[in-house]
Amino acid sequence: MLKRLDDLLEKALYYASGILLIIIATAVFYAVTMRYVFNEPPLWADEAPRAFFLWMTYLGIAVATKRGQNIRVTHFIDKVAAKPRMILETFMHILVLIMLATLVWFNMPILKLQAGGSMLSTGWSFVWLYAPVSVGSLLMLFYQSRLMIRTVMDYRAATGGGA
């Protein structure tokens, strides 16, 4: 049951990111066409694609984190013995978790501050520009924690359960 929910969440995030990419491309194409062909740029041409881009980026990063496809250099890590590698990788996971928690923590006051304002051209709340940081970071916190646990579990399985 939890595996299905996990897979469903991943698919939802993946397809939402893809749909947002299509929306961004369409909106930018439309805005550029209206500006340079008809000399009538839409008012929302700057704000809407920016908001969509932020959501697409943070949702897409969450999917990459879940799949373990986030960017990292493994050339030197792969050359380290099993136990030191597990310790090093766990330490790196902890650093990422601290960074993500810090992003969420310091973004909360920004969300509260921006809750009262709205974008001029779209009328959308500024929260829509700042919420992706917290939403994406929380998703990445969840997935990064799982990756850290998997690192330790893989080490234990490879060494026969010993620490």
Domain count, the chain: 1
Domain of 57, in residue numbers: 2-158
pTM listed for this prediction: 0.84
pLDDT tens-digit series, residues 95-143 = 999 999 999 999 999 999 999 899 988 999 999 999 999 999 999 999 9
163 pLDDT higher than 60: no
Q: Considering the domain boundaries, does residue 81 fall inside one?
A: yes
pLDDT tens-digit series, residues 60-79 = 999 999 988 877 777 788 88
Q: What is the 3-state secondary structure (H, E, C) of the chain?
A: CHHHHHHHHHHHHHHHHHHHHHHHHHHHHHHHHHHHCCCCCCHHHCHHHHHHHHHHHHHHHHHHHHCCCCCCCCCCHHHCCHHHHHHHHHHHHHHHHHHHHHHHHHHHHHHHHHCCCECCCCCCECHHHHHHHHHHHHHHHHHHHHHHHHHHHHHHHHCCCCC
Q: Considering the domain boundaries, does residue 37 fall inside one?
A: yes
Q: Considering the domain boundaries, does residue 163 fall inside one?
A: no
Q: Considering the domain boundaries, does residue 23 fall inside one?
A: yes
- pLDDT of 161 reads 65
Q: Considering the domain boundaries, does residue 53 fall inside one?
A: yes
Q: Considering the domain boundaries, does residue 78 fall inside one?
A: yes
Q: Considering the domain boundaries, does residue 14 fall inside one?
A: yes
Q: Considering the domain boundaries, does residue 82 fall inside one?
A: yes
